[in-house]
Amino acid sequence: METVYVVKGMTCGHCAGSVTQEIAALPGVEHVDVALDTGKVTVKSETALTEDQVRAAVDEAGYELVGVA
């Protein structure tokens, strides 16, 4: 399944890398796509992730999950 999240505060490659790293470490994640211009992060995973799991990962990276796009 694929879900698009909106993350606040990513401005550069380092930001994109940190968010990708944390989200890709969640169980079952296969693809992570980061759009630097819009802050949209598209996550494809084998099984459903809860918004809390994704929020915690984004928090861990130092950014803020606004919600599902």
Give burial (CB, 10 Å; 0-12/13-18/19+) of 24: middle
Using CB under 8 A as the binding criterion, the count of chain residues that bind a second copy stands at: 24
Tokens found for residue 28: 């079952």
Task: Give dist(CA 37, CA 22) in Å, integer.
Answer: 20
Question: Is 49 a binder of a second copy (CB under 8 A)?
Answer: no
Closest separation between CB of residue 64 and a second copy, Å? 18
* Residue 35 or 66 with smaller CB distance to a second copy: 35
Give the per-residue contact string, 6-45, with a second copy (x = CB under 8 A; - = no).
------xxx-xxxxxxxxxxx--xxxxxxxxx----x---
Chain positions contacting a second copy, by CB under 8 A: 12-14, 16-26, 29-37, 42
